[in-house]
Structure 1
Amino acid sequence: MATATTTAVFPLLLLFAAAVAVPSSPYLSPTTLFQNYQKMLTNFKIFIYTPAKPFTFQNPAASLFYSSLLNSPFLTQEPTEAHLFLIPFSPETSTRSLARLVRDLRINHPYWNRSLGADHFFVSPTGIDYSADRNALELKKNSVQISVFPVISGKFIPHKDITLPPVNLAARFISAVPENASTSSFLGYLKWDGKTESNFVEELRKDGDFLIDIERELLDPVENVKNSKFCLLFYAGDVAWMVEAMALGCVPVVIVDRPIQDLPLTDVLRWSDLGLLVAARGGAKRLKEVLNDVSEEKYNVMREMASAASKHLVWNEEPQPLDAFHMVIYQLWLRRHTIRYARRESF
């Protein structure tokens, strides 16, 4: 099964490897990524503990990831072959129940104690909190948490945790980035929920260089994305359309008043070069200054990179080579040799 997967992905990997020589590559390290991805396809093995009871994920990204993993060639029924261990539990599981779950793993299986859970991971769409209980604390501090972007502040540990790209079904049907970005009608386009940063949005509405779509009231949002140089996203708002916007050649601008480290695929993509982070507290005037300060040459590079990166943020019902599912698995592959915290720090 792994061999078939490798054969199917080979033509795409040839194109992927060509990115090594492209200055505008969206990847942190194209050569390393290409080599590691091939090794992952043929070698990576994950063991899933039997859940205490059946459960489902209501979040689309978490559901797609979990169902794709259950049907993937990465699974093994032999725990001695596994690089990582998945602890499955319902998103509604309480902290006390999580502590009991880890305690049972510690007592009934030999794998947790080898690394205090550093070679384990779990899926929690919103992330889990810290706890005074030793078992729950080890899960939080040592095991890899997979959540959905964006994650509530304080529930994400950057050096080990992973976020899932939001699901946008339309993005999978976009095959080419539109041309003539220099003739864009608008400097920035924003899909607004009608609530987030209302004063800031009101400033944007008064400026003819920005187009505001209030709760999808515009008749053709795709055309308006194509006709805008930058697509504005509130970090705490609707981010699911980010992938579609990037695929259409609209450079993403995340509006947030604090540093963030939970962007999807941070081990793979050069987010600092393909998008912008701008603080809302500077107002519309400051935002406009930042966007206008981007030279045409730099903008064209960012646009090309954003479009290329979007292909790895797309979810498919049946996983495809180099898509969101495989990139998340790749990030897990990179964490298979995680160094655990010292034992005294786990209390």
Structure 2
Amino acid sequence: MNKLLRVILVFLMFRLDWRKFFFAGAVITLVVVVIQIHSLPNLLTVWMLSPAATFSSYEPLNSTMHLGENPSSGMVQQFEPILVSLSIAKNKSAEVKQDDEKNDVPRAVVTPLGPPPPSRTLPTRLLKDIRSLNPEEALVYAKKEILNASNVADDPDLYAPLFRNVSAFKRSYELMELILKVYIYKDGRRPIFHFPYLRGIYSSEGWFMKFMKESEQFVTTDPEKAHLFYLPYSVRQMKRVLYVPEARNIKPLAIFLRDYVNMLATKYPFWNRTHGSDHFLVACHDWGSYTVTEHKELSTNTIKVLCNADVSEKIFVAGKDVSLAQTTIRHPRRPLHGLGGRRVSQRPILAFFAGKMHGRVRPKLLKYWRGKDKDMWISGPLPSKVPRKMSYAQQMKSSKYCICPMGYEVNSPRIVEAIYFECVPVIIADNFVPPLNEVLDWDALSVTVAEQDIPKLKEILLAIPMKRYLTMKNNVKMVQKHFLWNPSPIRYDLFHMVLHSIWYSRLSQIEVPQSS
């Protein structure tokens, strides 16, 4: 045995070429890794290996209750947390109209499955009665309940001054949690369908899609139990795959979506039952509204959840469609980075804006105010390298009012940025419907300035009493929770608020029989 060991030792020390041995081992390891990657599920394989693609009228719930006037008295989480950042670029505006795309590949950072949250308890008999209702009957029941909602005296989760009618909203939200079921069509291939894009200024559509698909509370696999039907596509991904820049024509995108809806209407009975009025889509890209124009029922009947909520174009219909908050997500591993603001005493700037000069409003804003007044910090894009204390985010945190002018379209991520930094938004975009307008009282937390009044901007802001400004600033801080994409959705966050707006729009279609 000892002789054999000596022979092996001599061979290893003097006869074996170690360089060739390690090279062979490295080659074998590389081959094994490549084989394993190709055997992964399709979605992960796409993330790691795929290159960039080259290629009818509705009325409010009640004329006296549009979730409308404030009364005199002033839920479940998803089970697969996703780490997502809502941080803002430090040295420039987060609104990058050049799509913020540059062939980056979206990745979701998934944390381990957490324990299910505690259930909300309801009387067993009430649950049994509600679950025995068909979808239409359940919607009628919900609408009656909302119309007769009891006044909310004090709710620790809801700040009443933010809402048009906090009592009606609370009851509507509770009924959504109890009743709502959404069916998601499985048809459609990635990456246009079922593949949420999670970065950039258009990522709201992606995060809603992700949380909707992961929801065990709201999603049903039985379409006969559904109150709403979701068309799970991404306009940002549609542009990336289908749009030909040289052609400068977005009509092929609308034709593609038209053919998809026609396929669904032929394959299933659900679209034709309501002509699409119980279906909804979610699109944050500026082109979202233009992709529905080739299908009449899709354009006029479907509930459209759009960042480009421009009523002047006759595509977005206020009261039926839903204005989607445009949020910027840049750092998925740093959730809610930079959230928060400063005291009034640390905000020496009256009004701040910095950004690119596209659209009809921004050139006019700079014409009147760039370099004209020390209290009005109005400029083009900030330099790419500035001291941290002079960065875009820090300037917003140092300002009392943050100017939010429209870009190419009426929407802008600056509105939500201002809310994150506790800076009162000043919205300059005629014909724009602000996000969550069905329930939020935007007069309580923002200033709206007509485009024609830009020359009087400072005069308008200085005319606001300090007491009102302090109230608005506090309201901005209190409304933050309703505009957050949390790592895992929680009650009253942006995912649930958008879903509630869709639910509310569906209820607006329901007629409650008059009792004799």
Question: TM class, shorter-chain normalised?
Answer: 0.7 to 0.9
1:275 CA drift (Å): 0.9
What CA deviation, in whole Å up to 9, does each residue of 1:290-312 have, x standing for no partner?
A: 11111111111111112212221
Asked if residue 71 in structure 1 is aligned to residue 214 in structure 2, the reply is yes
Counterpart position of 1:200 = 365
1:62 is matched with 205
Residue 267 of structure 1: CA displacement? Answer: 1.2
CA contact (8 A) 1:62 1:148 kept: no
Q: Which residue of 2 aligns with 1:279?
A: 450
Partner of 1:343: none
**Contact 1:119/1:143, CA 8 A, preserved across alignment:** yes
1:159 aligns with 2:319: yes
Change (3 A) 1:283 1:182: same
2:336 counterpart (161, 165, 172): 172
Tell me, yes or no, if structure 1 residue 38 matches structure 2 residue 174: yes
Deviation of 1:279 after TM superposition, in Å, equals 2.7
Contact 1:189 1:230 in 2 (8 A): yes
Partner of 1:323: 493
Q: Does 2:423 align with 1:250?
A: yes
**2-structure distance, mates of 1:2, 1:198:** 46
The alpha-carbon distance between structure 1 residues 199 and 163, as it changes in their structure 2 partners (threshold 3 A), is closer
210, 214, 237: which one pairs with 2:376?
210
**Corresponding residue SS for 2:289:** coil
Asked whether the equivalents of residues 149 and 166 of structure 1 are also in contact (C-alpha less than 8 Å), the reply is: no
Identity within the alignment, %? 25
Match of 1:42, SS state, is helix
Q: TM-score, normalised by structure 2?
A: 0.57
Q: TM-score, normalising length from structure 1?
A: 0.82
CA distance in 1, matches of 2:300, 2:492: 29
**Are 1:270 and 2:411 matched, yes or no?**
no
Give the structure with the larger strand fraction. Answer: 1
Would the alpha carbon gap of residues 36 and 161 (structure 1) be closer, same or farther in structure 2, given more than 3 Å must change? same
The 1:2–1:271 alpha-carbon spacing in structure 2 relative to 1, beyond 3 Å, is closer
Partner of 1:308: 478
The residue type paired with residue 306 of structure 2 is: S
Partner in structure 2 of residue 95 of structure 1: 254
Within 5 Å, give how 1:286-297 maps onto structure 2. Answer: 286-297=456-467
Distance 1:35 1:2 in 2: 16
Q: Which residue is 1:187 aligned to? A: 350
Distance 1:131 1:138, change over 3 A: same
Asked if structure 1 preserves the Cα contact closer than 8 Å seen for 2:352 and 2:396, the reply is yes
1:232 paired to 2:408: no
* Residue equivalent to 1:345: none
The superposition leaves residues 37-61 of structure 1 with CA deviations (integer Å, 9 ceiling, x where unpaired) of 2222232110011223222354311
| Counterpart Cα distance in 2 of 1:115 and 1:108 | 15
Which residue does 2:102 correspond to in 1? none
The answer (yes or no) to whether the contact 2:183–2:222 under 8 Å persists in 1 is yes
Q: Superposition RMSD on alpha carbons, in Å?
A: 3.0
CA contact (8 A) 2:352 2:378 kept: yes
CA displacement 1:48-94 (0-9 Å, x = unmatched) = 11223222354311111111111012110011111101123452373
Distance 1:164 1:131, change over 3 A: closer
Q: CA contact under 8 A between 1:64 and 1:315: conserved in structure 2?
A: yes
| Structure 1 gap segments, 5+ residues each | 341-347
Distance 2:323 2:293 in 1: 25
Is the 8 Å Cα contact of residues 249 and 307 (structure 1) preserved in structure 2? Answer: yes
Q: How far 1:270 sits from its partner (Å)?
A: 0.8
